[in-house]
Each structure stands twice: as C-alpha cells, then as structure tokens.
Chains A and B, each alone.
Chain A
C-alpha cells in the first residue's frame, strides 16, 4: 500500500476505535462494575495506560532522558502544567546535548 493510503487507513481505524469506546456505554448494563475488584480495575485504567506509555521512554533511553524525567516528576509537584512541559523539553534538549 502507498504511504498516503496507510496514513488515512490509520486515521480511520483510530476514529473507529474511539467512537466504538464512546458508544459502547449504550451496551453496559446500569449496575455493571459499580463496586468491587472489577470497578477498581477499570478505575485504575488511565494511570495504568499512561504509566505504561511513558515508563520505557523515561527509563530505557539513556541517562539524559532519565534525569530529565526525574526533573519533570519533581516539577509536577510545584508547577502548573505548561511550565512542567517547558521545563521537561528544555531539560531533555540540554541533557541530550551534554550526553552527546
């Protein structure tokens, strides 16, 4: 397949996946997963997904990215989000330059 078609196939498949999750609530019985272990598992999903997304990027790409990641975690305690993003980008760029 030509790259152009691959990109549009990806966009349409991603759109289908998203709409599916948002319409799927129509199929969930009203009293499903309102407590217990199953509800706890679903409630944990955002943290589990987001952590799985960034942990390899923070911890397996060399010391510069690991140190920049640690700085971001510390900064997130005190600073608003745009400042944390700016600091993270600057730290990553600077430390990568030092690491060569």
Chain B
C-alpha cells in the first residue's frame, strides 16, 4: 500500500486531473453545441456523454448524425474510432494488479484517452491504486457531462453551427490530434494511404464507408512499411 493511504492517493489523483479537466471544457462545450445543431436535446447529450464518454468517438458520431439517428452505423463508427481502447485497456490492466476484480470492471469503462494516459504516467512512477484512479477519473467524467450539456443549452440558442464555421472545428481538432502522432514510424505513409482511400471512397459511395476504407488502408500501410529495429 502507498505511504499516504487511499485518501492521499485520491487527492493526488484529483490534483493530476486538474489540467486535463480544465482542458476538456472547451471541447465539451463545442460538442454540445454541435449536437444541438443536429437536433439533440440537452438530456440526450448528457446521457450520451455519461454513457459513451469517448471524446473523438462522440465528435465523429455527432458529425455523422442524421435524423432519424442511424444507430447501427453510429455504433460501428464508434467501435472503429475506439478500437485502440482494446490495447489501451490491455496495457493498463498490467498495472491494475492492486485493483479488486469489481474495481477493474468499474474503472475500465472510464478509460478515456486522457484517463488512460495519466494512469500510465502514474504507473510508470509508482503503483497505480483504485483511489488514485478514482481521483483522476471522476472530476474529468463529471466535467465532461456538465460542460457538454451546457454547450447543448448554449448551442440551441446560437442556432446553425455551419453559419459560424463551428462544424469545421472537427477538422481543426482532428488535425491537432493527428499532429501529436507525427513522430510515429510510418506516419506519412499512414496519412497518405488513409486520406487517399477515404477521399476516393467518399467520391464513389458517400457515407461511413469512407471511414472504414481509410482506416483499413492506413493500418495496412503501417503494417507494410514496418521494419524491425529501425536504426
């Protein structure tokens, strides 16, 4: 057990969550405003943020949203965008030896990108405890729900997000997220393959097929350009 006990661990987690929690507020507001533009109500946005709790997947889903909601396509889209979480959860589970089985089942659904990244960072320095994880995840989770709901309330009042270019915020957010991976091996090949395949597919069959085709082309490019022990 850690020297400070569960209370100290919880406080350390809350302290670590301050920066990502503050940073996520503008995104959550934007997500809520965009969702309002697609006709979602504040209650629906709150429920989506509480139950789905996955930033890029929610942005992608709201972007692809039509009325009535194509629930199967949206679920497939969320599945594809979140596939990386399979490996993030497998990785963090190696650090959750101190978690009782029930705590693991409660913690894993809260494994948004930021929660995962900060948990891994903590685990690299000292053992990860359930109290630290709770301190990290709970403020972030509640802020995500509250801010996206507030954004929806404000968005319903603003009107059509396209008139202000708000829908283009997706492009800006995703460009910045992609740029964060630029040192990854094969980055340029993945970018070119995914973008090329997505655009070509979109021109032939508009709709979610472009996302699947681009993703498959991108990961195929990564596999084909991979070299053992790059020197």
- Chain A residues within 8 Å of B, Cβ to Cβ: 1, 3, 6-26, 28, 30, 32-33, 35-38, 40-60, 65, 68-69, 72-73, 75-77, 81-82, 84-85, 87-94, 96
In the complex, the answer to whether A21 meets B83 with C-beta atoms within 8 Å is yes
B36 at the interface (CB under 8 A from A): no
Contact for B169 among A9, A35, A53, A89, CB less than 8 A: A89
Expressed in whole angstroms, the Cα–Cα distance for A26 and B93 within the complex equals 7
In the complex formed, the residue of B with least CB distance to A80 is: B176
In the complex, the answer to whether A33 meets B87 with C-beta atoms within 8 Å is yes
Stretch from B5-13, B103-111, B123-131, B151-159 forming part of the interface with A: B103-111
Expressed in whole angstroms, the Cα–Cα distance for A85 and B218 within the complex equals 25
In the complex, the answer to whether A41 meets B70 with C-beta atoms within 8 Å is no
Within the complex, what minimum Cβ distance (angstroms) separates A21 from chain B? 4
Residues on B with beta carbons closer than 8 Å to the beta carbon of A35: 228
Known A18-B78, A53-B211: A46·B177 in contact at CB below 8 Å: yes
In the complex, the answer to whether A52 meets B198 with C-beta atoms within 8 Å is yes
Within the complex, what minimum Cβ distance (angstroms) separates B208 from chain A? 10
In the complex, the answer to whether A89 meets B72 with C-beta atoms within 8 Å is no
Contact for A11 among B44, B175, B190, B211, CB less than 8 A: B44
In the complex, the answer to whether A19 meets B175 with C-beta atoms within 8 Å is no
In the complex, the answer to whether B222 meets A48 with C-beta atoms within 8 Å is yes
Expressed in whole angstroms, the Cα–Cα distance for A99 and B152 within the complex equals 29
Known A57-B171, A60-B203: A13·B85 in contact at CB below 8 Å: no
